[in-house]
Structure 1
Amino acid sequence: MNRKIIIGISILILFTLGVTFSNSKSEKNAKKFQRVVNTLEESKEVLINDLTEFEWDSAYVFKAYTSKEKIFNTIGFKSQIIEETVSEGMNQLIFVKDKQVVCFLYGYPDNVGYGFNFEDTFSKVEDYIKLNYKDSPIFSTEKIDNIIYFTCLAL
């Protein structure tokens, strides 16, 4: 076989394995987050750091319909895990560590059991919010119809 073809196939296999590992790590962390959220009782204040059983540096929330290009430009890298939201009611929280998505929370609150409210936090200038682990962001929680809703109190 031609050496260039073998090298090309090897690179493709390594890339595929890397994407699969990254996706599975993100999915495992999303399940960990959901498991911790399911233990929450009635309304209280929580630190987002206490809900994440994985390491992260920054987390990003984007307004509905933000394009992937805008997301990639904001977080500083591309990721095949990230999806655009298709309506205002969807969750989209991207946890990042060392230029990798380590957890991607995405979906409708009815389907995943939790929802985030950042509408009052978005500024007129920016269409995203950046949370930093070191700042220990605070959220209030409210349980409505077995769904935990998080409202950002302090970044």
Structure 2
Amino acid sequence: MNKKKLIIPFILLIVLLIPFGMSYFSFQSQQISNQGEKEFTTRLEKAISQGSAFKLSEITPFDWDRVYVFKPYTTKSDMEKITAVSWNTRHTYVGYLLDRTFLGEYPLDDDSLNKLVFMKDGKVVLDVTFNRATADFTGMKETWYDKDIWLGSEEGNHVVIFRP
């Protein structure tokens, strides 16, 4: 009789742990390190402040083959549909869980924000959000495959796109 009483809580524990384990595995598989974010941001700000045109490929300290530009108010779901990849930049499981709720659905919830997502071989290598006062990429089309994207400074510190 005692064995039967122990089996029910054990089964309930297993039933509760399976979804948690699957969710944690999803967190681990979607997590990106965002290595090079600070260096890229520093290089970009320096290049913009110099006021002359520069190639985006010259200031990226990592290898990439595609960059996506997301404008203000783009939802996380839309970003994942456009890139065909799910990713997260959170370092904690709790942060990941919050991102999966309505709290994380709108990472660009202000007119002043835009995001660049760099990819290599179908995987996200860098996800960086900029204040448009620092770098305004809203004039770009959403996807660029060309590493020779030229950026220039115009009207203060706003970035505009042009090609040679």
Shorter chain as normaliser: what TM range?
Answer: 0.5 to 0.7
- What is the CA distance between 1:72 and its match in structure 2? 1.2
Deviation at 1:42, TM superposition (A): 2.1
Which deviates more, 97-106 or 29-38? 29-38
Q: Structure 1 vs Structure 2: percent identity of aligned residues? A: 16
Partner residue of 2:74?
66
Q: Is the 8 A contact 2:57 2:148 kept in 1?
A: yes
Shift of 1:83: 5.7
More strand by share: 1
With normalisation by structure 1, the TM-score equals 0.67
- Rounded to whole Å, the distance in 2 between the matches of 1:46 and 1:79 is 29
Alpha-carbon RMSD = 3.2
Q: List alignment gaps of at least 5 residues for structure 1.
A: 122-127
Between the aligned partners of 2:130 and 2:59, the Cα distance in structure 1 is 18
State the TM-score, normalized to the length of structure 2: 0.64
Q: Judging changes above 3 Å, is the alpha-carbon distance between structure 1 residues 73 and 18 closer, same or farther for their aligned structure 2 residues?
A: closer
**Larger Rg, first or second structure (1 or 2):** 2
Distance 2:138 2:86 in 1: 24
- Where do 5+ consecutive residues of structure 2 fail to align? 1-9, 90-104
- Aligned residue pairs total 136
Residue 129 of structure 1 pairs with residue 152 of structure 2: no
Determine the C-alpha separation between the residues in 2 that align with 1:107 and 1:44.
20
Q: Which residues in structure 2 correspond to 1:4-19 (within 5 Å)?
A: 15-19=26-30
CA drift of 1:98 comes to 2.2
Q: 1:105 to 1:88 in 2, by over 3 A?
A: same
Amino acid at match of 1:103: L
Query: Structure 1: how far apart are the matches of 2:38 and 2:106?
Result: 18
Aligned to 1:103: 126
